[in-house]
Amino acid sequence: MKKIYTIVLMSFLVLSCERLVKFINGPPVGHGFLRTFGTTFYDYGWGVDETFDGGAIIVGVKEYRDDRTRDILLVKVDEDGFGLWEKSFGGPDNEEAYAVKQCMNGGYILAGYSNSYGAASEVYVVKTDSYGKLEWDKTYGGPNLDRAYEIIETHDGHFIIVGVTNSPGISHGNDDIWLQKIDGQGNTVWRNAYGESNHEVGYDVVELPDGGFLVLGYKNFYDVSGKDIYLIRTDSVGTIVWAKTYGSSMVFDEIGYSIHEAYPSGYLICASTNSRDNGWFDPQVIKIDYDGNMQWSAIYNGSGRSHTRWVATPTYDGGAAIIGTTTYYHTNEGDNEDIYLIKIDQQGQELWNIGFEGGDSDWGWSIVETCINDLLIVGSTKSYGRGLFDIILMNTNEFGNYNLDG
């Protein structure tokens, strides 16, 4: 058994480092690029992950012009962002996937929702091989709304899904956070819902060294204090160890969208807040220790009006890169939206910010740092491409620079 694990680990390292070996004599042609994918109608990019070969896998949605239904779109690109293949998944109604990860076996796992196979919206998980060929797909949930927003592979080769449920018999009242563990074939290992009579939604999850999980989202206190960032720590079978909220005592909204391990210890929460009372959402980062105690918090001003979702990825220098969407009053006519990138250090100090200005509206939705410290950004664009909206993939260097002609 030890020999098998050694072989698997060595294979993983070879795949992960193949790109590094290639770049010893210089970066690839077109280092830094902007690519678009889609049809002539509506296509949206939701998630991205770097792949073992130095390329990337993108998940999004494509909408059909004739009946306005949606299918999941999975796109594999090489290290220069050029498409290798595309696959779509779905039934007669709507399917969307918000998260994609490459698995340890080289395949891909996708999570979102489906309206095609149940009484209402159900959690939908798709597993493919390394070429996007379907291995299995399954739905989970009850008669009401159930959706997945993130999925990760655990150290034991299983998967954890986080999202929201409103189905009786699963939720405790209104919307509750959904956390489910499934095995490599999609069979349920355990499932839990967290909530009270309020409204709770889960957006991200990380596995802890002890096999437990940190689950991030928000809890809605309605007229008392609005939405607060909500963080739950569970043990390895989903039992709550502790739960904490972070937010203003005023009626403002703070929504937790992403969480990752921080350097040298603890975790960084990336959230959206309208606590500046300007009617729009700004990115907020909170550093916590392993017990959830806040160590510092910082809010960053966007140029113009910022929009709801902000997420972050850890960077090699111990800091983080934050992606979202904002409006530039001083450059864009008509208050068009632009992808907005912020770099911070490990103390939360802003180092720089860049707005990627197009001729129309562009949204930044997901970001990941590559093994050579580049940044991969996925979202949606009306400024580039050929459709009404297209999936956009940007590759920048560590300072946010890219080559439009790359």
Q: Is 186 exposed, middle or buried (0-12, 13-18, 19+ CB in 10 A)?
A: middle
| pLDDT for residue 16 | 42
Least confident of 135-144, 176-185, 246-255: 246-255
Whether residue 406 contacts residue 30, with contact meaning beta carbons closer than 8 Å, is answered with: yes
- By residue count, the chain amounts to 406
pLDDT in tens, 74-96: 999 999 999 999 999 999 999 99
| pLDDT for residue 304 | 55
Pairing, β 362-369 against β 390-396: unpaired
Which pLDDT band, with edges at 50, 70 and 90, does 326 fall under?
A: confident
Percent of the chain surpassing pLDDT 90: 72
Average model confidence (pLDDT) for the chain?
Answer: 88
| pLDDT for residue 14 | 42
The secondary element (H helix, E strand) that includes residue 99 is strand 95-102
Pairing, β 176-182 against β 159-165: antiparallel
pLDDT above 80 for 11? no
Measured between alpha carbons, how far is residue 71 from residues 112, 124, 152, 265, 380 in Å? 11, 12, 22, 40, 16
Measured between alpha carbons, how far is residue 115 from residues 93, 118, 217 in Å? 6, 6, 23
End-to-end CA distance of the chain: 45
Whether residue 206 contacts residue 200, with contact meaning beta carbons closer than 8 Å, is answered with: no
Over residues 165-182, the mean pLDDT reads: 90
pLDDT in tens, 188-204: 999 999 998 789 999 99
pLDDT in tens, 55-70: 999 999 999 988 889 9
400 in helix, strand or coil? coil
pLDDT above 50 for 231? yes
pTM over 0.85: yes
pLDDT in tens, 351-406: 999 989 888 999 999 999 999 999 999 999 999 988 899 999 999 999 999 876 55
pLDDT above 70 for 108? yes
Domains with residue ranges and CATH for the chain: 32-396 (2.120.10.30)
